[in-house]
């Protein structure tokens, strides 16, 4: 058994999978700590996992919302967010280095936070990748054009990491394909959702999704009564995409009006600022944090932003989706769901209108039996993979051979 530090940066969706992983590792006898933004201390520690604060105490979801608001273009929005996170990592390397010390293994997320510090301390690393587009096709023959484009992109990607590597006297990265080091790269996605790329190296392993059920959850009286006294509701949950730096009443109006016009009951998560002094009809209820594993099983369908965790939960718990992606990785997850036949066509966030929401709800109603059958069948397959068990087994192998 070993001491393991897990590092991740970003919004709650970037942290939650690692909480599941840390808990599973602890159950297997390891000792695990998660290093992330100080704002996630309560979330992590309430899950029974040790926490190491990294960087300044900022509200990362608010910061991400501000960046998105200033950059409606999805590409620029993602680049700005990445640069913001890179800045935090560069300025926090002393915190990261200290949190790495004394551990037997370091687990790094897509941000690669902790990779250079672990290398400097000669501690083995396991990678985790949520976005498969980031995995290099190392076995694919490269054309001159591929090499040229790769060189231009690599310079930009490697630059912030090389600044850290210089501090520790480590060899500089020459190509972005070198970022995912170590002997293992775990991909917490199902083989039924993403086919293995034939150009990947063997170290890239599709484990299946990481998730936990929440059978102990007890709803408050209002939510319990709402679910018991009517048909299964639509669930509107846009994750960090619904974080409001200011009231977005117009957007909330779109959804409320669409639910009214289509005769759907609804549960609304997020929109806290917009809901102040906002009177919802009796057929709709605003609720706070409720585990997806509990709520999704009780819904008619879920309207969501296609974040990694929410997309996985919708498929794991067998509920049909209306995808409203905002940034590039979410658009990719939305496409997967459309191709699998477990959702309606996507509505890109920048194209959101009441009319498009109504059209999507009607599309769902017209094809509900087919979509429901598809997602329920997929749910059975996903849950039989036992992704967390597979991940723990791979991590334990690395520890045993290090």
DSSP 97-122: HHHHTT-SEEEE-TT-TTHHHHHHTT
**Segments making up each domain of the chain, as ranges:** 3-209+386-400, 221-383
Regions of the chain where pLDDT drops below 50: none
pLDDT recorded at residue 111: 86
Quote the CA–CA distance of 48 and 376 in Å, as a whole number.
Answer: 31
Nearest to 87 by CA among 79, 97, 76: 79
Quote the CA–CA distance of 162 and 153 in Å, as a whole number.
Answer: 14
Looking at the whole model, is its pTM more than 0.85?
Answer: yes
Structure tokens at 75: 């590409």
pLDDT recorded at residue 160: 84
Rg of the chain over all Cα atoms, to the nearest angstrom = 21
Quote the CA–CA distance of 11 and 37 in Å, as a whole number.
Answer: 9
Domain 221-383: CATH superfamily is Glycogen Phosphorylase B; (3.40.50.2000)
pLDDT tens figures, 342-393: 999 999 988 999 999 999 999 999 999 999 999 999 999 999 999 999 999 9
8-state DSSP, 143: P
Pair 241, 271: CB distance under 8 Å: no
Structure tokens at 248: 């977005």
Structurally, what CATH architecture does the domain formed by 3-209+386-400 represent?
3-Layer(aba) Sandwich (3.40)
Partnered with residue 35 across adjacent β-strands are 7, 52
Quote the CA–CA distance of 252 and 376 in Å, as a whole number.
Answer: 29
Helix (H) or strand (E) holding 108: strand 105-108
Quote the CA–CA distance of 335 and 306 in Å, as a whole number.
Answer: 10
Q: Tell me if 3-209+386-400 shares its fold with 221-383.
A: yes
Quote the CA–CA distance of 7 and 113 in Å, as a whole number.
Answer: 6
pLDDT recorded at residue 224: 96
HSE-CB for 63 with a 13 A CA cutoff: 19
């Amino acid at each position: 058994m070993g001491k393991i530090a897990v590092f991740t940066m970003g919004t709650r969706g970037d942290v939650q999978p690692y909480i599941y992983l840390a808990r599973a590792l602890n159950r297997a006898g390891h000792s695990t700590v998660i290093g992330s933004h100080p704002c996630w201390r309560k979330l992590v520690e309430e899950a029974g996992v040790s926490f190491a604060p990294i960087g300044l105490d900022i509200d990362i979801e608010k910061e991400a919302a501000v960046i998105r608001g200033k950059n409606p273009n999805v590409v620029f929005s993602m680049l700005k967010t990445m640069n913001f996170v890179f800045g935090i990592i560069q300025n926090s390397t002393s915190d990261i280095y200290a949190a790495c010390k004394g551990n037997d293994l370091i687990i790094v997320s897509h941000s690669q936070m902790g990779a250079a510090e672990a290398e400097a301390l000669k501690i083995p690393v396991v990678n985790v990748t949520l976005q498969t587009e980031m995995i290099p096709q190392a076995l694919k023959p490269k054309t001159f054009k591929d090499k040229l484009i790769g060189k231009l992109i690599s310079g930009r990607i490697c630059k912030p990491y090389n600044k850290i590597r210089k501090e520790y006297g480590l060899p500089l990265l020459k190509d972005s394909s070198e970022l995912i080091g170590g002997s293992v790269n775990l991909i917490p996605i199902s083989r039924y959702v993403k086919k293995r790329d034939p150009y990947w190296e063997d170290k890239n392993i599709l484990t299946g999704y990481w998730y936990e059920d929440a059978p102990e959850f007890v709803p408050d009286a209002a939510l319990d009564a709402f679910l018991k006294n009517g048909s299964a509701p639509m669930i509107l949950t846009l994750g960090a995409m619904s974080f409001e730096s200011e009231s977005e009443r117009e957007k909330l109006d779109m959804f409320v009006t669409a639910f009214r016009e289509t005769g759907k009951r609804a549960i609304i998560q997020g929109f806290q600022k917009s809901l102040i002094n906002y009177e919802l009809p009796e057929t709709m209820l605003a609720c706070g944090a409720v585990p997806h594993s509990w709520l999704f099983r009780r819904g008619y369908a879920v309207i969501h932003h296609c974040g990694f965790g929410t997309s996985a939960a919708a498929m794991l718990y067998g509920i049909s989706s209306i995808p409203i992606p905002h940034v590039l990785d979410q658009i990719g997850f939305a496409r997967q769901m459309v191709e699998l036949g477990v959702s309606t066509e996507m509505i890109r966030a920048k194209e959101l209108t009441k009319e498009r929401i109504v059209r999507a709800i009607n599309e769902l109603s017209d094809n509900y039996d087919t979509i429901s059958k598809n997602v329920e069948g997929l749910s059975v397959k996903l849950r039989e993979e036992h992704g967390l068990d597979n991940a723990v087994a791979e991590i334990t192998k690395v520890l045993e051979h290090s």
